[in-house]
A and B are shown apart, each in its own frame.
Chain A
Amino acid sequence: MTEFTPYSALGGGLLIGLSAALLWLFNGRIAGISGIVGGLFQPGDRPWRWAFIAGLPLGAWLMLQAWPTGSQITVEAGPVQLIVAGLLVGYGSRLGSGCTSGHGVCGLGRFSLRSLVATITFLTTGMVSVFLLRHLGG
């Protein structure tokens, strides 16, 4: 069980949206994490990618100082399941050109049909995999 937390969820969502908005207005880039990570080791525009990715844990750490509740997490998956999950998330997000941020936040924000289809697809398969794991053994 996790509590329904509409206010902190909305607050977090607004910060994420603000971040995506500023990256677009300042750098003209889509704040899609899988896309930004995918370009970390490619020649070309690397510095901003590394800076953005370094900012993620730094920002989480800053928020943790103001909101210590954020340190309480539960990881249900065991090591093998986490490795399989990581491989699927990494491979799938690159093949599908985006993840929750690029398709779910930015893509929906610019009314992209591709992103809408991607978001519906990963929400559906995510729900199915949780259903199979939690309610049909696993």
Chain B
Amino acid sequence: MQWLAALLVGVLFGAGLLLAGMTNPAKVINFLDITGAWDPSLVFVMGGGATVAAAAFWRAKGLSRPLLADVFALPTRKQIDLPLLLGSALFGIGWGLGGYCPGPALAGLVLGRSETLLFVVAMLGGMALHRLQSGRSKTGPKL
């Protein structure tokens, strides 16, 4: 049942991304272009999304477990560390360069543009690179 719930919420997520305009890289880049043709639309996307999510997180505090799973898989890390800062910084640079972040790129594949596919393949490559690197550091000497 978990996979069916995930499919349905994935559909909602993808529909939201398209309606929000996130699948259009020019709109994302114009949002980031605060000294130029600034398009503040994405403030509404993030604000609306975070507000609804906040209501759910607040509501879930009264539940002992999710409806279809055994536990709430809450991120445990609390520290502001170098990987968080460096990773987010690199992610932002790539976001500005292409106008794509992971969700909109995957949802936007349906628009049938080769540029989107090229970005997605490179993105998966970047993720694989990180996986290779972190796998190696686990087996290698601890610095």
Interface size class of B (residues with CB under 8 A): 35 or more
Secondary structure of the B contact surface, majority rule: helix
From B7, B16, B77, B116, give the contact of A14 (CB < 8 A): B16
Given known pairs A51-B6, A73-B111, the reply for A89 and B19 (CB within 8 Å) is no
Whether the pair A26, B14 counts as a contact (CB closer than 8 A) is no
From B72, B92, B124, give the contact of A90 (CB < 8 A): B124
From A87, A109, A122, give the contact of B88 (CB < 8 A): A122
A89 to B103, CA, bound (A): 11
From B32, B91, B106, give the contact of A57 (CB < 8 A): B106
Given known pairs A9-B44, A77-B25, the reply for A20 and B14 (CB within 8 Å) is no
Interface size class of A (residues with CB under 8 A): 35 or more
A31 to B34, CA, bound (A): 28
What residues of chain A lie closer than 8 Å to B30, measured between beta carbons?
1-2
Chain B residue nearest to A59 in the complex (CB): B14
Whether the pair A27, B2 counts as a contact (CB closer than 8 A) is yes
Given known pairs A18-B52, A33-B106, A53-B10, the reply for A73 and B15 (CB within 8 Å) is no
0 or 1 for each of B15-35: is its CB under 8 Å from A? (1 = yes):
111111111111101101111
From B17, B32, B49, give the contact of A130 (CB < 8 A): B32
Whether the pair B103, A101 counts as a contact (CB closer than 8 A) is yes
Secondary structure of the A contact surface, majority rule: helix
Could you tell me the distance in whole angstroms from the C-beta of A16 to the nearest C-beta in chain B?
4
Whether the pair A126, B92 counts as a contact (CB closer than 8 A) is yes
Interface residues of A (CB under 8 A from B): 1-6, 8-31, 33-34, 37-38, 47-64, 67, 70-77, 79, 81-101, 103-106, 108-114, 117-119, 121-131, 133-135
Q: Can you name 18 extra interface pairs (CB under 8 A) apart from A4-B39, A86-B126, A94-B126? A: A9-B20, A12-B18, A13-B48, A16-B45, A19-B9, A26-B5, A26-B68, A29-B69, A53-B106, A72-B24, A74-B25, A77-B25, A81-B98, A84-B94, A86-B121, A108-B46, A122-B88, A125-B88
